[in-house]
């Protein structure tokens, strides 16, 4: 069985109607909590979600930052600045440049790093990523990857090398829309991508973070399926740490416009629904969102946040002709690690810079 079987159960669901195919009242409640009518009950749900979060996670918020290794890409994702058809300056970090970037980030105190690449096995293949991990292990106690989907054996190689986390967005669960926004390249393989988190967990990955890119398709449906995907992974891999992200499409090089508006109110509704449905799921909030919104979301169920982010290759230490480098997308919250730590402490939360180590 794969998650695709569950997707097929719900692929025609309609948020203006009732839910067919739900196994129990818990699943029906999740569906209801994402319906338009539930928007009138956000405050009540927020109190419930906050209590559940405090019970399961306390007041700890884990911090991390993304480190882009390469923006070479063979895909044509219409919503992405790294689209191979964009005339973007392409860059791949040398190992020396990577070490400089890693040392800079580590000087902030962060010990959790997320490394990213575009999809190009020729330029940033698994062997290159392994070499990078060997360097990063000197600086970070937890290394997660957000790269193209791999086979189970390839994930096993990276886990053996020291990678313990995977972030991978199915982008949209809507199979038809997925084909439209991914017209060319290896990423056209919808099933291979959807099943990647499960392959990674079978290979021994400790943490997995999934999410739909909100705005590519009906956000209620994508959020519902994200929740079910997370539940499927939690139930099947009970020793793994599963988390979800709720990224919205951001300005990028290209002409793609989101097919639906996803408001701040919608984001709140999704976070609250996820928390009540999955009390132990991590909820990750990136710098795609504004500083004001991120601060307000801290007490609503978020457990991980990025800080000091840049989506340019080597963006922490490399300038491109005295300008910032080409970005995958524009971030909104540009605050550094110290500012985010102060903000969390002011709100009564504990910033956690190191939550894991290999022994």
Partner 1 sequence: VNTALATAKDPVSMAKAFSQAISAGRLAYISGTAQTSDYANASSPLTGFLRDEEV
Contact positions vs partner 1 (CB under 8 A): 42-43, 46-47, 50, 263-265, 268, 292-293, 296, 299-300
> In angstroms, what is the minimal distance from the CB of 266 to partner 1?
10
> In angstroms, what is the minimal distance from the CB of 77 to partner 1?
29
With respect to partner 1, which residue has the nearer C-beta, 12 or 44?
Answer: 44
Phi, then psi, of 90 in degrees rounded to 5: -100, 140
With respect to partner 1, which residue has the nearer C-beta, 188 or 299?
Answer: 299
> In angstroms, what is the minimal distance from the CB of 219 to partner 1?
16
With respect to partner 1, which residue has the nearer C-beta, 127 or 263?
Answer: 263
Q: Are 211 and 226 spatial neighbours (Cβ–Cβ below 8 Å)?
A: yes
Helix axes 264-277, 219-236, angle to 10 degrees: 30
> In angstroms, what is the minimal distance from the CB of 78 to partner 1?
27
DSSP-assigned letter for residue 306 = E
With respect to partner 1, which residue has the nearer C-beta, 136 or 268?
Answer: 268
Give me the residue label for tokens 């886990």: 159
> In angstroms, what is the minimal distance from the CB of 34 to partner 1?
16
With respect to partner 1, which residue has the nearer C-beta, 45 or 217?
Answer: 45
With respect to partner 1, which residue has the nearer C-beta, 193 or 275?
Answer: 275
> In angstroms, what is the minimal distance from the CB of 159 to partner 1?
39
Tell me the two tokens of residue 302: 């978020």
**Cβ atoms within 10 A of the Cβ of 12, count?**
10
> In angstroms, what is the minimal distance from the CB of 212 to partner 1?
22
With respect to partner 1, which residue has the nearer C-beta, 293 or 318?
Answer: 293
> In angstroms, what is the minimal distance from the CB of 109 to partner 1?
29
How many helices (H) and strands (E) the chain has is answered by 13, 9
Q: Are 89 and 314 spatial neighbours (Cβ–Cβ below 8 Å)?
A: no
Half-sphere exposure of 299 toward its Cβ, with a 13 Å CA cutoff? 13
d(CA 230, CA 259): 24
With respect to partner 1, which residue has the nearer C-beta, 209 or 223?
Answer: 223
Q: Which spans in the chain are helix H?
A: 3-10, 25-33, 42-57, 95-106, 126-136, 152-161, 175-181, 190-194, 196-202, 219-236, 264-277, 291-297, 337-346
> Distances in Å between the alpha carbon of 64 and those of 58, 305, 355?
18, 7, 10
């Amino acid at each position: 069985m794969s998650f695709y079987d569950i997707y097929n159960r719900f692929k025609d669901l309609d948020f203006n109607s009732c839910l067919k195919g739900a196994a129990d009242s818990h699943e029906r409640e999740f569906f209801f909590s994402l319906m338009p009518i539930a928007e009138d009950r956000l405050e009540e749900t927020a109190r419930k979600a906050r209590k559940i979060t405090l019970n399961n996670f306390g007041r700890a918020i884990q911090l991390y930052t993304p480190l882009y290794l390469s923006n070479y890409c063979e895909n044509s994702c219409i919503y992405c600045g790294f689209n191979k058809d964009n005339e973007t300056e392409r860059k791949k970090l040398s190992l020396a440049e990577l070490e400089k970037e890693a040392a800079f980030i580590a000087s902030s105190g962060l010990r959790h790093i997320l490394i990213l690449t575009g999809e190009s096995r020729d330029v940033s293949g698994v062997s290159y990523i392994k070499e990078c991990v060997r360097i990063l292990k000197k600086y970070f106690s937890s290394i997660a990857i957000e790269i193209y989907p791999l086979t189970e054996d390839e994930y096993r190689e990276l886990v053996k090398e020291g990678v313990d986390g995977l972030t991978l967005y199915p982008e949209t669960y809507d199979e038809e829309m997925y084909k439209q926004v991914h017209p060319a390249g290896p990423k056209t393989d919808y099933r291979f991508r959807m099943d990647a988190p499960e392959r990674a967990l079978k290979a021994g990955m400790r943490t997995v973070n999934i999410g739909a890119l909100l705005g590519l398709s009906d956000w209620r449906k994508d959020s519902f399926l994200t929740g079910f995907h997370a539940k499927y992974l939690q139930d099947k891999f009970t020793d793994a740490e599963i988390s979800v992200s709720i990224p919205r499409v951001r300005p990028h090089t290209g002409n793609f416009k989101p097919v639906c508006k996803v408001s701040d109110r919608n984001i709140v509704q999704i976070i609250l629904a996820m928390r009540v449905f999955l009390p132990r799921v991590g909820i990750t909030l990136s710098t795609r969102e504004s500083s004001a919104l991120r601060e307000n979301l801290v007490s609503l169920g978020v457990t991980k946040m990025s800080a000091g982010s840049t989506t340019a290759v080597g963006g922490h230490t490399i300038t491109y002709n005295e300008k910032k480098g080409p970005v995958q997308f524009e971030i909104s919250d540009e605050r550094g690690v110290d500012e985010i730590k102060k903000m969390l402490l002011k709100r009564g939360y504990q910033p956690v810079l190191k939550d894991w180590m290999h022994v």
